[in-house]
Structure 1
Amino acid sequence: MKTAVVFPGFSPSSYPEVQEFIESNGYAEKWYSRAEDILGYSLKEAFREATEADWEINELAFLINTLALADYAGENHSLTPEYCMGSSFGGMIGAVYTGSLSLADALWLSYQSTNREKRYMTERIFNRYQTDFIYQYPAERVMQDVRDYTEKGKYLEISSYLSRNLVAVSGEMDVIREMKKKVRQARGISLFTMDRLIHCKKLKEIKEVVGREVHSRVSFRPPRIPMISDIDGSILVEPVKIKNLLLDWFDQPVRMHLAKTTMKKCGIEKVFVVGPRSIFGSLMSEDFSVEVISPETACQTATG
């Protein structure tokens, strides 16, 4: 039976939510120690003190937590996948896991990319924009809403197609507020809202800046197992294509159905969903046998 590891994209989580894993799990201790050696400061302490506005630190901690969980899964849950799919920021984690990117380069790349993105958004008043994840509100209806707002001269864009009933939309705060009201009236659910834009055309310029100033300084290697793009479903084995993937998700929407189609064509039957706090277990269970590896999973068994 062919298997794949899936690394979900970044989702907001505070230190207390993963505190037990970070402080008591041997795999977490090992990976935070590696990060400290590279960064020159304690990421664990920085994460403990971080607020929601500290994008850079929160993403670095998410990366280390997920890699520690993958390490744990390899030794305790027979995680030996033939393929890897990282969604959104999970692609960065996938690049490290498959050996395409070193941990040191991933930490530097993540911090520098996010720092430039945050400054760019602030300078262009993009802090007036949000992204909302909507559940049980059909994608077809969201697409009509986008057309309606566009005709009114208001900005709204679908930034993630995760399933027929789960999408993410990016737009101005007042439009997102109206959308959340529409969703509630239709008995849908606004799962969570991020005070930033993701995967949308308005980020094309920052994509070019990050590509020129950050990604151009990092070398990628061929992955030990193929990666699958969550943007167009392509199979990635060439370093330049993995590098491009990590840039393309700035301004290209996630299209999970295309990744799933490729996974099925590859004969994948079981998926390990690895990472903190994720909806990807239920998303993947629509098409595959799923084993979820989370901080809670690791805390229930002996540490490494």
Structure 2
Amino acid sequence: MTTDQARSAVVFPGMGPARFTDVGKFMMIDPFVRKRLAAADEALGRSVLDGFRAQGEDFGEFAQVAFFINSVALADRAVETGGLRPDHCVGFSFGQKAATAFSGALPFPEAVRLTYELALCEQRFFQEQYQDLVTLTITRVPEPALTEVLAELTERGEFHEVSGLLDEGMHMITLREPVLESFQRRISAVGGYSLYSMKPPAHCRILTGLRARAEEEVIGEADLTDPELPLVADHDGSLVTTADGLRALLLDTFDHPVRWHPVVDTLRAQGVTTVHVTGPDRLLHRLDVTTRHFDVVALGPEQALRPAARPARATSRPARTASRPARTSSRKEQ
């Protein structure tokens, strides 16, 4: 489908390491967050901020709920103060939860509980299985070089999966933690950079057991309705317009690799020219494939805290990378 009418999309980013020291001030003073926090506290019967402050984990259940709240609240701000009226909605990886709430497919309090319960479900699963796997994000690695390095793992009988394609030369690779450092050295040797690793892993075909458990314990019970905005699937770019389709999408995130290029292709085919990335995003709004095709408006906590609260318009500069070894974020609840 193509259209001559300019359209916009709201994009909820995937979750990076979330710390109270980074966003706590924002959450305490921003009126849009405070409104969502009150509803979340009521839904869970406890203070999200207190749990987030005390937990001290980058991906703990309260860190996940806080990231979800911030993403939805920043979209609220964009609607009320920035004139956001999106035609399409994208939830990339963890951002699917915010997209589910914003699109009207699940009331906000229920989406809070779903986020919290999924985090605990994943915690229980990874206490039992796949404790030695991590997912590493790498960049500036051309496809031929990556194929070569992965072939070396295959020759040694080492498990590995490509868990995501984010941009040209930017991938997510799942592998065993004991070989992580040697793999990072090989990535450096072919001219690439290791950004960060997550433990437990994400978006792996091997995680069908987690998908089944999440469906049985949490997602299968969610009272989803048809979204009011069409959603774009983060693994193949398909349009999701029904409750059943959204339920499948929420489950697919466990055992399907994420891919950003198909999302970009679908948005362009739908006539989208502007994307609003609302949430604590360090990646999507800066990717070349994003800035090359869209007018990108980024609204994260940093922009919201500025006196004028003006969203930042991304440039075409590629995301900055560091040559130091990747830091592993312990994802005990995700």
Same fold by TM-score, threshold 0.5 exceeded? yes
After the TM superposition, which parts of structure 1 deviate over 3 Å for at least 4 consecutive aligned residues? none
For residues 29-78 of structure 1, what are the alpha-carbon distances to aligned partners after superposition, in whole Å with 9 as ceiling and x for unaligned?
11111111111110011111122265211111100011111111111211
* Residue 40 of structure 1 pairs with residue 45 of structure 2: yes
1:133 and 1:139 map into 2 onto residues whose CA distance is 14
For residues 258-283 of structure 1, what are the alpha-carbon distances to aligned partners after superposition, in whole Å with 9 as ceiling and x for unaligned?
11111111011111111114211112
Contact 2:14 2:281 in 1 (8 A): no
SS, match of residue 195 in structure 2: strand
State the AA in 2 paired with 1:300: R
Contact 1:139 1:167 in 2 (8 A): no
Q: Where do 5+ consecutive residues of structure 1 fail to align?
A: none
In structure 2, the residue matched to 1:177 is: 181
In structure 1, the residue matched to 2:203 is: 199
2:144 and 2:279 map into 1 onto residues whose CA distance is 29
* Residue 261 of structure 1 pairs with residue 265 of structure 2: yes
Residues 223 and 301 (structure 1), Cα distance of their counterparts in 2 relative to 1, 3 Å cut = farther
1:157 and 1:276 map into 2 onto residues whose CA distance is 27
In structure 1, the residue matched to 2:121 is: 116
Question: Where do residues 86-125 of structure 1 align in structure 2 (5 Å cutoff)?
Answer: 86-124=91-129
1:223 and 1:203 map into 2 onto residues whose CA distance is 27
Q: How far did residue 115 of structure 1 move?
A: 1.4
Question: Where do residues 50-89 of structure 1 align in structure 2 (5 Å cutoff)?
Answer: 50-52=55-57, 55-89=60-94
Q: How far did residue 151 of structure 1 move?
A: 3.1
Question: Where do residues 1-304 of structure 1 align in structure 2 (5 Å cutoff)?
Answer: 1-52=6-57, 55-124=60-129, 126-283=130-287, 284-301=290-307
For residues 97-127 of structure 1, what are the alpha-carbon distances to aligned partners after superposition, in whole Å with 9 as ceiling and x for unaligned?
0001122221222222221222211212x22
Q: How far did residue 302 of structure 1 move?
A: 6.0
More moved, 58-67 vs 137-146? 137-146
TM-score normalised by structure 1 residue count = 0.95
SS, match of residue 254 in structure 2: coil
Q: How far did residue 256 of structure 1 move?
A: 1.0
SS, match of residue 220 in structure 1: coil
Q: Percent identity?
A: 30
SS, match of residue 276 in structure 1: coil
State the AA in 2 paired with 1:149: L
2:286 and 2:159 map into 1 onto residues whose CA distance is 30
1:69 and 1:139 map into 2 onto residues whose CA distance is 36
2:124 and 2:228 map into 1 onto residues whose CA distance is 35
SS, match of residue 250 in structure 1: helix
SS, match of residue 9 in structure 2: strand
Aligned CA RMSD, in angstroms, stands at: 1.5
Aligned length: 302
State the AA in 2 paired with 1:291: V
For residues 233-288 of structure 1, what are the alpha-carbon distances to aligned partners after superposition, in whole Å with 9 as ceiling and x for unaligned?
10110111011101001010001111111111101111111111421111221321
For residues 75-101 of structure 1, what are the alpha-carbon distances to aligned partners after superposition, in whole Å with 9 as ceiling and x for unaligned?
121111100111011111101000011
More moved, 253-262 vs 45-54? 45-54
More moved, 48-57 vs 256-265? 48-57
2:13 and 2:84 map into 1 onto residues whose CA distance is 16
